[in-house]
Amino acid sequence: MAHDTVHGTADAVEAPRDDRLNRELAGLDALELGGHRGRDRLSRVWGALWPMVAAVLIALAAWQVVVWTGWKKPWVLPGPADTLPAFWDQVTTGRFWEAVALTMRRAAVGFAVSVLVGVVVGALVSRFRVLRRAFGSLITGLQTMPSIAWFPLAIMLFKLSESAILFVVVLGAAPSIANGLIAGVDYMPPILLRAGKVMGLRGLNLYRHLILPASLPSFVAGLKQGWAFAWRSLMAGELLVVIGNTTSLGVLLAQARELNNTAEMISYMIVILIIGIVIDQVFGVVDRSLRSRWGLDAND
């Protein structure tokens, strides 16, 4: 009996010590994990930045080497030392930012309309076999058709107007978005559809709660490709369709070409490229987040 009492007293003394030790170890683990998270975050940022920085430096070096070869006269193909100052001069002017604002507004409106049209067409074609047979190949054909080929018809229909540009942007982007949704539905396991119907999902609710979430990977890929087509179509439209006294990136590019100002022309091309890269990075963030949620990210 006395032995049990002594043993119980020892356990009571050891328990607070164990609790204190566990708390101290937990605090050390938290500090260690926090340090690792900070380092992981910095390493991810650096891992994302250094390839792009290296690519820019390689491109600038290759550009300068081509200039040094004397392949073209400096006024035809200026080097980075002549173009980058012109680029800086342009981005510090109000006219330049007005042009960027107009171009981006057209891009946002065109892409939004393209998403709406692409989702409606893709949803209908993916769910009705008759529509798939009738319009499936036509959607792919529209996707492969160069956007520049639509502009004569667009100008005939809408004159030199915003509608002509919007018409071509939508025709360039919507088929890719529709095909992305169609592909996502095609590769969705049939058991999910059966489960959704058993749960009472029908019509719009079926798309909202089951089909769209299940087809997100392919749909996001279609959105990304659709943006690329929309951006290319918009640039072609701004070069061909000049509306009144409006100033856009395409107009500035065309004016620089007409004045044989190659340095400014290349600087506008750099801006167009940078915008495309930034938007691609936005889609990249969405894609990585989606893959992480689906457990497809190898870094998780």
Q: What is the CATH number of the domain that holds 286?
A: 1.10.3720.10
**Average pLDDT, stretch 259-275?**
88
For 42-64, how does the pLDDT look when each residue is reduced to its tens digit (9 = 90+)? 777 777 677 778 888 888 888 88
For 100-122, how does the pLDDT look when each residue is reduced to its tens digit (9 = 90+)? 999 999 999 999 999 999 999 98
Please name the amino acid found at residue 278: V
Does one domain contain both 87 and 235?
yes
Whether residue 298 lies inside any domain: the answer is: no
Does one domain contain both 283 and 215?
yes
pLDDT at residue 22, as a whole number: 60
Does one domain contain both 205 and 229?
yes
Whether residue 300 lies inside any domain: the answer is: no
Residue 75: which pLDDT band, with cuts at 50, 70 and 90? confident
Q: What percent of the chain has pLDDT over 70?
A: 84
Does one domain contain both 262 and 235?
yes
For 136-178, how does the pLDDT look when each residue is reduced to its tens digit (9 = 90+)? 788 888 888 888 888 899 989 988 888 999 999 999 999 999 9
Whether residue 281 lies inside any domain: the answer is: yes
| Res 286 pLDDT > 90 | no
| 130 vs 37, higher pLDDT | 130
Distance separating alpha carbons of residues 80 and 21, to the nearest angstrom: 62
Go through 47-77 and write b for each residue having 16 or more CB atoms within 10 A of its CB, e for each that does not.
Answer: eeeeeeeeeeeeeeeebeeebeeeeeeeeeb
Whether residue 198 lies inside any domain: the answer is: yes
pLDDT at residue 300, as a whole number: 47
pLDDT at residue 101, as a whole number: 92
Does one domain contain both 233 and 185?
yes
Residue 32: which pLDDT band, with cuts at 50, 70 and 90? very low
Does one domain contain both 190 and 42?
no
pLDDT at residue 6, as a whole number: 44
Range of the domain at 18: 1-71
**Average pLDDT, stretch 4-24?**
53
Whether residue 114 lies inside any domain: the answer is: yes
Cβ of 270: how many Cβ atoms within 10 Å? Answer: 16
Q: Single out the residue in 13, 39, 71 at which a domain terminates.
A: 71
What's the pTM value of the predicted model, to 2 decimals?
Answer: 0.76
Of 117-131, 164-178, 207-221, least confident by mean pLDDT is 207-221
Q: Single out the residue in 26, 44, 71 at which a domain terminates.
A: 71
Does one domain contain both 217 and 84?
yes
Q: Single out the residue in 23, 43, 71 at which a domain terminates.
A: 71
DSSP character for 188? S
Does one domain contain both 23 and 44?
yes
Whether residue 119 lies inside any domain: the answer is: yes
Does one domain contain both 85 and 200?
yes
- CA 50, distance to chain mean position in Å, is 20
pLDDT at residue 10, as a whole number: 45
Does one domain contain both 9 and 114?
no
DSSP-assigned states of every residue in 45-110: HHHHHHHHHHHHHHHHHHHHHHHHTTSS-TTTS--HHHHHHHHHHHHTSHHHHHHHHHHHHHHHHH
Q: Are 106 and 249 in contact (CB under 8 A)?
A: no
DSSP-assigned states of every residue in 248-294: -HHHHHHHHHHTT-HHHHHHHHHHHHHHHHHHHHHHHHHHHHHHHHT
| Res 230 pLDDT > 90 | yes
Whether residue 188 lies inside any domain: the answer is: yes
| Res 296 pLDDT > 70 | no
Q: Are 144 and 162 in contact (CB under 8 A)?
A: no
Residue 81: which pLDDT band, with cuts at 50, 70 and 90? confident
- Give the number of domains in the chain: 2
pLDDT at residue 113, as a whole number: 95
Measured CA angle at 96 (ends 94, 98), to 5 deg: 70
pLDDT at residue 103, as a whole number: 92
Whether residue 108 lies inside any domain: the answer is: yes
Does one domain contain both 139 and 275?
yes
Does one domain contain both 167 and 46?
no
